[in-house]
Structure 1
Amino acid sequence: MSQRRVLVVDDEATICESVAARLRAEGFDVVTASDGPGAVAECEASEPDLLVLDVMLPGFDGLEVCRRVQAARPVPVLMLTARADETDMLIGLGVGADDYLSKPFSMRVLVARVHALVRRAERATEAASSGQAGMSVGDLEVDLVERRVRRGDDEIHLTRTEFDLLAHFASRPRAAISRESLLAEVWGWGDVAGSRTVDSHVKALRRKLGGDLIRTVHGVGYALDVQK
């Protein structure tokens, strides 16, 4: 497999250089940018496999970078934010970010998240070529090849992570799935806590699919309720 390329975008030179150096030590090919327009231009020029993207940037912010990049060529995005407010997180997820870290962050955690996003992208490619076309659960249809979702007559547009999460629920309808299991099986996190990440993505799915589809199982996690 060819070396994976990561674009690191942060206007704080110390952070940008530290993250780039650590990812290079992990075997990634790393390019950098320090503002919004530069990030979009670098994406077009180098076609990275993944972005580590700060929200607060000169020119225009990371949310706008994410919108433009995902419109041109979908790519996994790990967003860095100085605030842990859930509204900001939901906005980031809504424009196509796959994951987020609040500053200050552990470099070990960042590296783990980057590796997990790469593995998820590889799994999605394998699933698309595995021959399993999709799943139908009640009035929900999940196309694993084209990565499209329909509920009844409506097509629902999901981000990469929202799709992966929904597909996992659809593979185990009615089963109560813990947040820890979701983090391990969908996000690929083995030793990093992040229940708020699961909750934020479930909230986003409910907003798009309707609040009746994913049920909270108190003290456990969530379950996909089958619609007849």
Structure 2
Amino acid sequence: MRKSILIVDDEWNMRNLLKIHLMSDYDLAECSNGQDAIALVQKHSFDLILLDVMMPEMDGWEVCKAIRTMNTTPILMLTARNELKDKVHGLEIGADDYLIKPFELEELLARVKALLRRSDHHAPMVDDSSIVFGNGYFKVDRDGYQVFLDNEKLDLTPKEYEFIETIALSPKRVFTREVLLDLLWGFNDSRDMRTVDSHVKNIRIKIRETGSNYNPVQTVWGVGYKFQEPNQTL
């Protein structure tokens, strides 16, 4: 079954260029502004979204944040801005990858394939009551407020549980310490970054005590933390 890709860019030339190179392998939809993109995502299911950053009225950052309130469809941001802070901001709000214009065709195709492949093989099974990875090796019991590793319950504090649940619900997203502080503790003060690091340290210690070498919390140096699926390490 062919994968579907939504192209969001206000420039007709760019949309046309992307269509030319992708149409032979993927089903494509396109729109030229953020509002139309959000409307399409609400009505249709896509396997990947190519999202331009610099658009009038509603930029790509706003669109990305809006989409993340609805689903976890992989998002590849396209932008002419080459500053590290822009890339970090995109990752913070839920983008999965970032490609600088102008880009080589080969790099675009490689990133598209990589995102689709990751989405296929590493997506968790999620419902209202649980999040399951690795055929049940790692499970977040949302009803019971518990986490299980190889069917063994981890002795987590409520805040440690909330940390795991938050990153596991968006396994492709990189969370900065600032975002985690805001989501889990309701404040964002650079002086309290050690709060996040301390909880990560405690989670890792408790998992090591089970005898497992699996580490569900991956450090993304210079940015923050993300979830690591069991089949990436075992």
TM-score range, shorter chain: 0.5 to 0.7
The 1:15/1:172 distance shift into structure 2, 3 A limit, reads: farther
* One of 76, 79, 82 as aligned partner of 1:78: 76
| Cα distance in 2 between the residues matched to 1:96 and 1:84 | 18
Q: What letter corresponds to residue 136 of structure 2 in structure 1?
A: G
CA drift of 1:46 comes to 2.3
% same residue: 32
**Backbone CA RMSD of aligned residues:** 3.5
CA drift of 1:28 comes to 0.7
Task: Determine if the alignment matches structure 1 residue 203 to structure 2 residue 226.
Answer: no
Partner of 2:3: 4
CA drift of 1:82 comes to 0.9
Q: Confirm or deny: 8 A CA contact 1:162 1:205 kept in the other structure.
A: no
Partner of 1:52: 50
CA drift of 1:55 comes to 0.4
CA drift of 1:73 comes to 1.5
Q: Confirm or deny: 8 A CA contact 2:94 2:173 kept in the other structure.
A: no
- Give the TM-score normalised by structure 2: 0.62
Q: What letter corresponds to residue 44 of structure 2 in structure 1?
A: S
Partner of 1:106: 104
| Cα distance in 2 between the residues matched to 1:46 and 1:123 | 22
| Cα distance in 2 between the residues matched to 1:130 and 1:4 | 24
Task: Determine if the alignment matches structure 1 residue 130 to structure 2 residue 149.
Answer: no
- Superposed, which structure 2 residues align to 1:166-205 within 5 Å? 201-205=220-224
Task: Determine if the alignment matches structure 1 residue 92 to structure 2 residue 98.
Answer: no
* One of 118, 121, 125 as aligned partner of 1:120: 118
CA drift of 1:131 comes to 2.6
SS of 1:52's equivalent?
strand
Unmatched 5+ residue regions in structure 2?
125-131, 141-146, 151-155, 175-199, 228-234
Map Cα deviations across residues 8-34 of structure 1 (whole Å, 9 max, x no partner): 111111111111221112x11010011
| Cα distance in 2 between the residues matched to 1:22 and 1:134 | 40
CA drift of 1:203 comes to 2.4
Q: Confirm or deny: 8 A CA contact 2:95 2:173 kept in the other structure.
A: no
The 1:151/1:60 distance shift into structure 2, 3 A limit, reads: farther
Partner of 1:62: 60
Which structure is higher in RCO with an 8 Å CA cutoff and minimum separation 6?
1
Q: Confirm or deny: 8 A CA contact 2:61 2:90 kept in the other structure.
A: yes
| Cα distance in 1 between the residues matched to 2:115 and 2:157 | 27
SS of 2:73's equivalent?
coil
Between structure 1 and structure 2, the one with the greater Rg is 2
CA drift of 1:108 comes to 1.2
